[in-house]
Amino acid sequence: MSSRATGAALVAFSAVCFSFMPVFVKLAYAGGVNLVTLLAARFALAAIVVWPAIFFTGQLSRVGIKDMGAYLLLSLVGYGGASTCYFAALQRIPASLAAMLFYAYPLFVVLWEMLFYRARPGAEKLAALALAVAGLLLVLGKGSGEASAIGLLLGAGSAVCYAAYFVFGRRLLRQRSPLAATGFVLLLAAAGFWLYGGISGQLLLDLPVRAWAWVVALAVISTAVAILALFAGLKRVDAGTAAITSALEPALAVILAAAVFAEPLTFGQAAGIMLVLGGVVVLQLPRSPSSSLPDTRR
Q: Where are the domains of the chain?
A: 3-284
Q: In whole angstroms, give the CA distance from residue 240 to residue 244.
A: 6
Instruction: State the pLDDT at residue 297.
Output: 37
**For 17-28, how does the pLDDT look when each residue is reduced to its tens digit (9 = 90+)?**
999 999 999 999
295: left (phi over 0), alpha (psi -120 to 50) or beta: beta
Q: In whole angstroms, give the CA distance from residue 73 to residue 152.
A: 25
State the DSSP H helix or E strand holding residue 42, giving kind and residue range, or none if neither: helix 35-56
Residue 64: alpha-carbon gap to chain centroid: 27
Cβ(16)–Cβ(179) below 8 Å = no
State the DSSP H helix or E strand holding residue 4, giving kind and residue range, or none if neither: helix 3-19
Provide DSSP, 97-121. Answer: HHHHHHTTHHHHHHHHHHHHH----
Instruction: Tell me which residues of the chain have a pLDDT lower than 50.
Output: 143, 145, 288-298
Instruction: State the pLDDT at residue 292.
Output: 36
What pTM did the predictor assign? 0.81
